Each structure stands twice: as C-alpha cells, then as structure tokens.
Amino acid sequence: MAEVVTLGETMAVLYPPEPVVLDATATLAIDIGGAESNLCIALSRLGHRARFVSQVGDDPFGARIRATLEREGVDTTFLATHPNAATGVFFREWLPDGARRVYYYRRESAASRMSPEALTAEMFAGAKILHLSGITPALSATCAAAAARAIELAKAAGALVSFDPNYRGRLWSPEQAQKALLPLMRQADILLLGHEDAAAVLGTHGDDATLAAAGELGPSTVVLKLAERGAVAIVDGKRTAVPAVLVNQVVDPVGAGDGFNAGFLAGLLRGTSTEQALELGAMVGAACVATLGDYAGYPREPQPAG
C-alpha cells in the first residue's frame, strides 16, 4: 500500500552528455524526467512507498519510463498505456555558465489526455499524502480536472494534500496559472514553493510576503525553498528555518526541488520535527545538484544532520 500518491506526466528526456548546446552536440543521452515521478523515485530511495498515477504511450519511451520506475521501486499499478497517443519528450541543454534551456514536445501526449473519469478511489486507498504539482493542470483542461478530482478522492481517503505550484512559463502565463492553481492550492494541507512560483502565482516578492500570502490560502504547513539560502517553513503558525547544505560544485540543478519535496514529506511520514524534515529535504536537494540528471543524485536513506 502506497504512503504517497502522485499524479502527473513523465517524459523521455534527451540531453548532450557534455555541457554544450544542442546544435553543437553529436550525441544525446536518454533518460526520464518529471516532477512527480522524480519525487516518487526520491521517496522510494528513502525507503517510502510511492505510487505514480499517469499515462504513457505504447512506444519505447513509455516502456522505458515504466521499466525505470519499477526498477526504482515505484508502484506503477495505475500507470496506464494509451493506445493512440505518444509519450511526451523533451530536450534540454546544460551549460558551464549554469544556463538551462528546455524544449518540450508534449502537446497531445498520452499524459495530457488524463481525465477525472479514469481516477478511482482504489488509487488513493490507504495513502497518507497526495502530492501534486502545478505542471499537471497546465497540460490540458482534462488534466486540470483530474488534479481536482484527485484531491477529492485523496481527502475522502483521509490523506493530506501536498502541492507545489512548480510554475513553468513555457506552459502558461501567470494569469492562467493563478486562475487554475489558486483553487487547488486553497485545498492543500502542505504548500511547497519557491520564489518564482510565488511571484507568478501569488504575485509576491520576499520571504515574509510570500509566507504570509501562502498562509492566507489556508494550509497548515507552508514551505519556502530558498536554494542556496536554505528553506523556511511555517507550521501551525510556528516559523522554522534551516541553512542550505553546501556542495562543492553545482552540476545540474534540475530535480533539486522535487528532491527537497520528497525529503520534507519523508520527514513528515517519519514523524520528525519540522527542522529535521527541512534538513532532510535540503540534504536530498543538495545531493541532486551535484550529479547530472533529474534523479540520478538522489541518495538512499540519508540521515538528517545534527
């Protein structure tokens, strides 16, 4: 039985094995990537049971996603195969100056065709947490409806709802994101966000303004991820902050936020203090940035500092 259930899109990701632009590379490496499946992999490596609900195409990319998740111990019972739609693909560059450029090919993908009618109570039975990101509602109207339905089913099952706005400017405008995401965020018990999310969805700038605006939406827990400045949380009105975990070199920041989310949620599942949960999140996020790839650097069973 899964402790955490997620719903979203995982795509095949292709990238140069060296830090060069795409039009200068002769070869591409292939892997998988997606906010929700990244979180599932990180949780699984931390010893927690995670379930990924989605759709992939009946193609080699879909088969690779399924095989990778199963190899990582993620529950794919409700990862469906769409007979007529392809698995989404994206290409990304990673450059020595820290720049990251991403090119999505996901329109009309199998995952973008998820619908609320396909979700059942069985998917959420026994779960302690449902985790969603704002990426999923951006994919299509049916995905937005599926996210809302997932929250209904999760709450009916007694699960907490965790939400990361994960704003992506390539998918929609701030105005579109606000209209779609604020109603979902108001139903969350746990909000996990960064400054870019706050600026786009809440219209806030600065730690205090963001924490206050997010708290007004009603969650009992608000976490603000501050990258190299660490993280801060407001839990039942109490503020807790932790510093970042230092790394020798940032190789690839992609997946760090998802890793942080997984570490923090793992801390909650273990019944640790807010400080320890934040420290675990920071540790997982730091391990991620030191390695190329969405999830390759996620550690197995790290212990909180202190």
Hey, where are the domains in the chain? 4-289
Q: Is the pLDDT of residue 105 over 90?
A: yes
* pLDDT band with cut points at 50, 70 and 90 for residue 71: very high
Count Cα atoms within 13 angstroms, Cβ side, for 75. 19
- Confidence at residue 33, expressed as pLDDT on a 0 to 100 scale: 95
Q: What is the mean pLDDT of residues 160-164?
A: 98
Q: Is the pLDDT of residue 306 over 50?
A: no
Cα–Cα dist 280/266, whole Å = 8
Residue 250: burial class (beta carbons within 10 Å; 0-12, 13-18, 19+): middle
Determine whether 164 is an active site residue: no
Count Cα atoms within 13 angstroms, Cβ side, for 73. 15
Q: Is the pLDDT of residue 125 over 90?
A: yes
Q: Report the predicted TM-score, pTM, of the whole model to 2 decimal places.
A: 0.94
Amino acid at 278: L
Q: What is the DSSP string of 2-16?
A: -SEEEE---EEEEE-
Q: Is the pLDDT of residue 130 over 60?
A: yes
Which pair of structure tokens corresponds to residue 229?
């400045």
* CATH classification code of 4-289: 3.40.1190.20
Q: Is the pLDDT of residue 304 over 50?
A: no
Q: What is the DSSP letter of 200?
A: I
Q: Is the pLDDT of residue 252 over 80?
A: no
Residue from 75, 164, 197, 258 carrying the catalytic annotation: 258
Cα–Cα dist 42/255, whole Å = 10
- Confidence at residue 98, expressed as pLDDT on a 0 to 100 scale: 62
Q: What is the mean pLDDT of residues 120-124?
A: 98
Q: What is the DSSP letter of 75?
A: B
Q: Is the pLDDT of residue 305 over 70?
A: no
| Alpha helical stretches, state H, the chain | 35-45, 60-71, 135-139, 141-156, 174-185, 195-197, 207-216, 256-270, 274-289
- Confidence at residue 36, expressed as pLDDT on a 0 to 100 scale: 97
